[in-house]
Amino acid sequence: MARQLNLILVGPPGAGKGTQAERLQSDFGLAYIATGEMLRANVKAQTELGMAAKQHMDAGGLVPDDLILAMTAERLEEDDTRDGFILDGFPRNLAQAGALERQLQQQGRRITAVLLIEVPDEEIVKRIAGRRVCVKNGHNYHVDYDPPKLPDVCDQDGSRLIQRDDDKPEVVQRRLLVYHEQTAPLISYYEDRGLLRRVDGMRAPGEVHDHIRALIATLLLEDSL
């Protein structure tokens, strides 16, 4: 089998994983597999797995590991993952990490690297809690990084700007708490296997991208020696 580039992106909400995933997709032609998108696609297509997951989602519960694992296994069999993939939002815990490792072994594949985009909690709160969206057409702003010309008024359609409920500081803090509880063991797990690579997420997006490309180039070079 040709050399694959199989990556896992780890980092808190608001760290810029989606932005970096888009750039890596473009750079290397990788399939981008985000847990949320995968769930929504299965629900929309009314697959057997999607309908089972929807029952848990409608009840306000978490989708069980076995359903997520089954969806991921199916997704990794699709043609666009042939040259590699980027996983975002999965695995979320040690049980999922172990199951993913076994799945890949059965396919004769392995993880190339786990990229941890590190951003301090206070910066994450600032990034997310500063977001504003207009009520009419959903135009996005940020009170510090991309403010409107007039406070709380959309530049493009004049409608009111609001803060989404899930962007409020107390909600972001809860999301961060869950992230740290779930992710801390994963960081140790992948670090012990020599797969973890740390990336400074406080840099500008272009600099973060350059750093990740340099890391990947080194990994590919080492693998070819």
Return the active site residues.
17, 92, 131, 164, 175
Helix (H/G/I), strand (E/B), else coil: 106: helix
**Which DSSP symbol is given to 159?**
P
CA distance 166 to 186: 25
The radius of gyration computed from the CA coordinates of the chain, to the nearest angstrom, equals 19
**Which DSSP symbol is given to 15?**
S
Strand runs labelled E in the chain: 5-10, 31-34, 84-88, 113-118, 131-134, 140-142, 161-162, 196-200
